[in-house]
A and B are shown apart, each in its own frame.
Chain A
Amino acid sequence: MESGVVINKINFQKVLKYIFSMLLLCSNLLFTETSNPNKTWYGDPDLQGIWTNATLTTLERPKHFKALEVNEEEARSAANKASADSFAYDNQYLEGESPKAGKDVGGYNTAWMEPGAELFQLFGKYRTSIIAYPKNGKVPWDREKANKFFQQRRKDRSKRRDHPELRGVGERCVVGFGSSGGPPMMNVLYNNHYQIVQSPGYVMIMAEMVHDARVIRLDGKHPPENITPWLGDSIGHWEGNTLVVETTNFNPQHTFRGGLRHFFAITSGAIVTERFTRISKDQILYRFYVDDPDIYSQVWAGEMPLRSVEDKIYEYACHEGNYSMANILAGAREEEKRR
């Protein structure tokens, strides 16, 4: 009986804390969610189409920006700098010249990259970070817990030429790089497209990278704890014209969510809440809240637009042509033999 009371107390406190942080977040996010009357054939708000989250805006706010919003001139200057950097990256060697032995040979030419060329705008204002809360635009790590996690990660990474399981999930072709499939869904180096299709009781979001179809069950229930799908388990409901999606049961192998321009983690005990609101014909307001006390000191939240595009999404077959994994491991064994 006594332990039951304690459990109730803890839950109650947790619930209060959660409600409080949600209220705080809602008051902190800059704009209210507006509505668009488009409906599906069975009457749900319509989010369907092909969307992209490609943007120059990063998850965290770079040091040189002082506020969440900047004016057009600053936004243009950021875009120009990115374009100049990209040109410099592509032209670091003269024609016929090659990197010196031991130097980084690079990966892709920028022609293969499509990370987004401009800071995104929300409601007519340019944004300097996806994170809207906390206000400093930084991921609020719990230092101690994060250090422990990253220590283990460094240890694992020292063996990453030995075992496929110790390489990144993107390199393994299990899911996309850097939380591309989410949740939260994050813009990465390329293939930043999503297709949303709705049917009665479901919203399906297919992330281009690794053709990950996340089937969100409306008014569903999460499965038992031992079922931990890649991309977690997502259930949703409508609040007015906003689709609210709650994801739990995260896969413990998909904790690290680093990309070229962002760096965060979602542990297996996290609750990620996403809110999708169609704010115009061409835009969905995408908001997310990360509640993950196993690695963060507080709940944090981000928002960005998903922009409608006319493009077609082609097949992202990854595992089928994953020669790199074989070459990395076989190369390491060959190197050991020659030592």
Chain B
Amino acid sequence: MKKIFYLLIFLTITVSDVVAEESDLPNGPLGKPDLNGVWQVLNSANFNLEAHAASASLAMVEGPVVPVPHPSTVLFGAVGSVPAGLGVVEGGTIPYKKRALKQRDENKKNWLDRDPEIKCYLPGVPRATYMHLPFQIFHSEKAIFFAYEYAGAVRNIYLDDPGPAPVDSWMGQSWGYWEGNTLVVEVSGFNDQTWFDRSGNFHSDQLKVTERYTLINQHIMNYEATIEDEKIFTRPWKINMNLYKRVGKDAQLQQFKCVEFVEELIYGKWRGD
């Protein structure tokens, strides 16, 4: 009898624990976790997806003793430097094909001329997720829509299979569905113009990204993206990181329409008197 009593207590605690864990996730539309909110990473993935030490600049050139910042970035001083990161690539290294790796290294060397972020171009996926600016998810019973602060980029996640993308685009075509409590988004139809980070990591127009958004609790969401591109990589690879939900006054998306910020950079050389 005593044993049964203890067993009952044990079961009650266990069951209530499980229930409590499940109910920790805020309820969204159609019985799914509520993904609404302003989300942001707290990492340095946009500087480099792979592990990297802190450094003086993204553009380094050979110096008399050790490498020094490129003359175009030197005036930024500490503001232009790169924070360290342990990397977000599962297994540590992006599995480039030999020629593609060479291309990546060349991209990195020519970062100032080549990174589409410098020209305020649309960031593509997955890069939009881990920029230094937040994004807002609008999650309803009819639609899931992402609005990114950077460049005012947007994504509408189709909830019915849209078929192959009719044209290539910067942000790709997104098709989302639920696997249990995880929102899975298959993104395809990309052009080859976007990068993955500020370190020259890139892809071709054969890119396919499969994202998995899993709410851990009301403040944290896990983000995993599987990246496939047979032209560039030897096998599919994954990145994984956490997204943090902004609360209170911080939870208001601001505007970062950087198009006007780069007019001088892009068009300044053609100004009239």
Contacts and interface: CB of A to CB of B under 8 A. Distances in A.
Nearest to A162: B272
Interface of B: 28-30, 36, 120-122, 136-143, 145, 147, 152-154, 156, 158, 162, 166-167, 169-171, 193, 252-255, 257, 259-260, 263, 266-267, 270-273
A320 B263 CA distance: 12
Contacts of A198: 138, 140
A197 B162 contact: no
Contacts of A320: 121-122, 170, 193
A145 B122 CA distance: 39
A195 B257 CA distance: 20
7 contacts: A162-B272, A198-B138, A199-B138, A204-B145, A206-B147, A213-B147, A332-B270
A10 interface: no
Contacts of B254: 229
A217 B142 CA distance: 20
Interface stretch (A29-37, A54-62, A307-315): A307-315
B272 A336 contact: yes
A237 interface: no
A165 interface: yes
A90 B266 CA distance: 35
Contact of A230 (B122, B143, B255): B255
B272 A315 contact: no
A138 interface: no
A49 to B, nearest CB: 7
Given A41-B29, A314-B169, A320-B122, A162 B271 contact: yes
A275 to B, nearest CB: 21
B157 to A, nearest CB: 10
Contact of A174 (B36, B193, B260): B260
Contact of A173 (B153, B158, B169, B259): B259
B195 to A, nearest CB: 13
Contacts of B162: 312
Contacts of B147: 204, 206, 213, 215
Interface of A: 40-41, 46, 48-49, 159, 161-165, 172-175, 195, 197-200, 202, 204, 206, 210-213, 215, 217, 220, 229-230, 312-315, 317, 319-320, 325-326, 329-330, 332-333, 336
Nearest to A212: B152
B136 A215 contact: yes
Given A48-B143, A312-B162, A204 B138 contact: yes
Contacts of A326: 266-267, 270
B259 A174 contact: yes
Contacts of A195: 143, 145, 156
Given A48-B143, A49-B142, A320-B122, A200 B36 contact: yes
A332 B121 CA distance: 25
A161 B272 contact: yes
B273 A162 contact: yes
Nearest to A332: B272
Given A48-B143, A204-B138, A317-B122, A211 B152 contact: yes
A315 B171 contact: yes
A333 B143 contact: no
A197 B136 contact: no
Given A173-B259, A230-B255, A336-B272, A211 B267 contact: no
B140 A164 contact: no
Nearest to A233: B255
Contacts of A210: 152
A325 B267 contact: yes
A197 B267 contact: no
A202 B253 CA distance: 11
Contacts of B260: 165, 172, 174
Contacts of B170: 315, 317, 320
Contact of A199 (B139, B153, B166, B266): B139
Nearest to A159: B272
Contacts of B36: 199-200
